[in-house]
Amino acid sequence: MTSVLFRNVNIFDGSGAEPFAGAVRVEGQRIVSVTRGTQPVDEGDARVIDGNGATLMPGLIEAHAHLSFASSTGRIIRERTLPAEEHLLITAHNAAVLLDSGFTSAYSAGSKGARFEVALKKEIDGGYLPGPRLVPSTFERAADADKSRSGPEALAQFIAHAAQDGVQSVKLLLSGDDAFGKGGSLDVEYTDEEVAAAGVAARGQGIWLAAHAQAPEAVKMAARHGFRVIYHCTHADEEALDLLEARRDDVFTAPAIGIVYAKAYLGEAFGFTREVAEKNGYFDALERNIEVYARMRKRGIRVLPGGDYGFPWNPIGENARDLELFVKLFSWPAKDVLVAATQWGADLMGMGSELGQIRESFLADLLLVDGNPLDDVTILQDRAKLLAIMKDGAFRKAPAPARQVSETAEFAR
């Protein structure tokens, strides 16, 4: 069994506690010891990585992943429709990009292919393709005007078929979006009867529900009917927040602030000029998000980073920008943002008892970071600052030799 010892590291363990100097031993897929202080530790036959004071932290967790949205850093794809074979290969590439950006886990917020992510997860879990551990989804389901494909029974059948395919989370577009037309975010797309049936069907199938919900009533329906994660919540009113607060132990929210910020400030090359951004209300949307999520934070509702990455103006690989936006726009302390992106992300994945923290017996998903992200969370956007990326106890990115103080003969060869 492979053994790795990280020593001389500053440990941010994901619990919310202050970082501390120490050492961490990994055997196989799991962390077997966490030692505090600078006292010598028994190296045994471990591969020893001297961090020289670098930060060791849990791998980041993306709460709003769209691996099949085509654009990634260094590879902007403007086409909206792609041949299925090409699209699946791009999805696999994007999974590797996300992992290489320090995100070792991802909760899908919808796929462009019915089984893209189920197939991708099988390849990743088998060790055949690189990528984050994944909660896979299928198509984001919009309401259908065709009566034969709408209604509670049709929705329950859709969820049953998805579960049979191996999907773990189904996302419903409970409300519209301003991208589909001004004021679209206030349109409610499903009836309460349909959403109730979806909740019953999902619980019966043992899978989770996610919602695109911006309109107040859409947020309320998702909260009432047991949805696990509710994205956007842009227009949530007091009643919606009351419902979310009542479920704060088992519901998660994510504003997807990355895409809103990108369209307001970063999309000029893609037609989102200042004039267009103002006309389409992107700056107003930013302000609404800042106000709504400040109220959520006061109520103890869990809010997760995850910014709808995968568009040309907001490509996969820039996901860590969401952490900066939580600090910059939402005024969160960096430590709290990192807890949300690690410990709370693991809770969202359904793996809070073994993922998202540096603790004995937990899975060894780890980042070795050149610097202290609690002082400057933006360093997590710089791949060069990610000295090592480990998932399941195996290096996706191994540290440079200068940081390897001693190695067994097995690794020296």
Per-residue pLDDT of the chain (413 residues; tens, 9 = 90+): 789 999 999 999 999 999 999 999 999 999 999 999 988 888 889 999 999 999 999 999 999 999 999 999 999 999 989 999 999 999 999 999 999 999 999 999 999 999 999 999 999 999 999 999 999 999 999 987 666 678 999 999 999 999 999 999 999 999 998 877 777 899 999 999 999 999 999 999 999 999 999 999 999 999 999 999 999 999 999 999 999 999 999 999 999 999 999 999 999 999 999 999 998 889 999 999 999 999 999 999 999 999 999 999 999 999 999 999 999 999 999 999 999 999 999 999 999 999 999 999 999 999 999 999 999 999 999 999 999 999 999 999 999 875 554 443 333 33
For 183, other C-beta atoms within 10 Å of its C-beta total: 10
Identify which of 168, 171, 143 has the alpha carbon closest to the alpha carbon of residue 64. Answer: 171
Fold adopted by 61-319: TIM Barrel (3.20.20)
Between helices 192-205 and 216-224, what is the axis angle to 10°? 40
**Where exactly does CATH 3.20.20.140 map onto the chain?**
61-319
- Assess contact for 378 and 324: CB atoms under 8 A: yes
Q: Are 102 and 320 in contact (CB under 8 A)?
A: yes
What's residue 410's pLDDT?
Answer: 37
Fold of domain 3-59+357-412: Urease, subunit C; domain 1 (2.30.40)
CB 37 within 8 A of CB 43: no
CB-based contacts of 41: which residues, under 8 Å, 6+ apart?
5, 7, 23, 25, 35
Nearest CA among 251, 250, 198, 242 for reference residue 220: 242
Task: Please tell me the distance from the alpha carbon of residue 86 to that of residue 276, in angstroms, as a whole number.
Answer: 32
State the Cα–Cα distance between residues 134 and 303, nearest whole angstrom. Answer: 20
Sign of CA dihedral 92, 93, 94, 96: positive
* pLDDT at residue number 148: 66
Q: Which H/E stretch holds residue 405?
A: none
Q: Decide: helix, strand or coil at residue 358.
A: coil
pLDDT at 407: 42
Q: Where in the chain is the domain with CATH 2.30.40.10?
A: 3-59+357-412
- Beta-bridged to residue 369, according to DSSP, are 55, 386
Q: What is the pLDDT of residue 159?
A: 97
Other beta carbons within 10 angstroms of residue 139's beta carbon come to: 18
Amino acid identity, position 247 = R
CA distance 320 to 335: 14
The DSSP H or E segment spanning 298 is helix 282-298
From CA 295, how far away is CA 242, in angstroms rounded?
A: 11
Q: At what angle do helices 116-125 and 84-100 cross, to 10 degrees?
A: 50
Q: How many Cα atoms are found within 13 Å in the side-chain-facing hemisphere of 325?
A: 25
Residue with tokens 């100097």: 21
